[in-house]
Structure 1
Amino acid sequence: MSYLILAILWGLFYFTHSYMAAISVKEKIKSLLKSGYKWYRLFYSFIFSVFFLAILVYSATLEKDQVLASTELLTYMGYMFATFGTIILVKSFKNFSGARFIGFKIHDDLEETEPLITSGIHSRMRHPIYTGLALIFLGYFLFAPFFSSLIHLVCLLIYIPIGIYFEEKKLISVYGEEYLKYKDNVPSSIPLLRIKK
Structure 2
Amino acid sequence: MIVFEHICLVFLWMLFCIQHSVFATAWWKQKMFILLGRSFRYYRFFYSFFAFLNLVLLLYFQFAINSPALWKVSGLLQLTSLATGLSGLVIMLSCIRKYFSVVTGIKAFAREKNQVAILQTGGLHKYTRHPLYFGTLVFIWSFFLLFPLVNNLIACGVISVYTLVGIHIEERKLINEFGESYKLYTRRVPRLIPRFPGRRHKLGQSFQETI
Structure 1 length-normalised TM: 0.90
Shift >2 Å, 4+ stretches: 90-94
Q: What letter corresponds to residue 120 of structure 2 in structure 1? A: I
Equivalence for 1:101: 103
1:21 CA drift (Å): 1.2
Q: Look up the SS of the partner of 1:151 in the other structure.
A: helix
Equivalence for 2:21: 18
Q: What letter corresponds to residue 23 of structure 1 in structure 2? A: A
Equivalence for 2:150: 147
Rounded to whole Å, the distance in 1 between the matches of 2:78 and 2:67 is 16
> Are residues 49 and 99 of structure 1, via their aligned partners in 2, closer, same or farther at CA, if it must alter by over 3 Å?
same
- 2:58 is aligned with 1:55: yes
Query: How many aligned positions are there?
Result: 193
Q: What letter corresponds to residue 135 of structure 2 in structure 1? A: G
Gaps of 5+ in 1: none
Q: Given the alignment, which residue of 183, 186, 191 partners 1:180? A: 183
- C-alpha contact (below 8 Å) 1:64/1:146 kept by paired residues: yes
Equivalence for 2:202: none
- 2:192 is aligned with 1:192: no
- C-alpha contact (below 8 Å) 1:23/1:170 kept by paired residues: no
1:89 CA drift (Å): 1.4
1:33 CA drift (Å): 0.7
Rounded to whole Å, the distance in 1 between the matches of 2:84 and 2:11 is 26
Q: What letter corresponds to residue 29 of structure 2 in structure 1? A: K
Rounded to whole Å, the distance in 1 between the matches of 2:10 and 2:81 is 22
Q: Given the alignment, which residue of 1, 5, 8 partners 2:11? A: 8
Equivalence for 1:128: 131
- Of structures 1 and 2, the one scoring higher in RCO (CA 8 A, sep 6+) is 1
If you compute each CA radius of gyration, which structure gives the higher value, 1 or 2? 2
Rounded to whole Å, the distance in 1 between the matches of 2:50 and 2:131 is 23
- C-alpha contact (below 8 Å) 1:18/1:166 kept by paired residues: no
Rounded to whole Å, the distance in 1 between the matches of 2:26 and 2:47 is 14
- 2:39 is aligned with 1:36: yes
Rounded to whole Å, the distance in 1 between the matches of 2:191 and 2:55 is 24
Rounded to whole Å, the distance in 2 between the matches of 1:137 and 1:159 is 13
Q: How does 1:150-161 map to 2 (within 5 A)?
A: 150-161=153-164
Rounded to whole Å, the distance in 1 between the matches of 2:182 and 2:32 is 26
Equivalence for 2:74: 71
Gaps of 5+ in 2: 200-211
Identity of aligned residues (%): 29
Rounded to whole Å, the distance in 1 between the matches of 2:117 and 2:186 is 18
Rounded to whole Å, the distance in 1 between the matches of 2:161 and 2:69 is 22
Structure 2 length-normalised TM: 0.85
CA deviation vs aligned residue, 1:29-74 (integer Å, no higher than 9, x gap) = 1111110001011101101101111111001111130011122122
Q: CA RMSD in A?
A: 1.9
Rounded to whole Å, the distance in 2 between the matches of 1:59 and 1:89 is 22
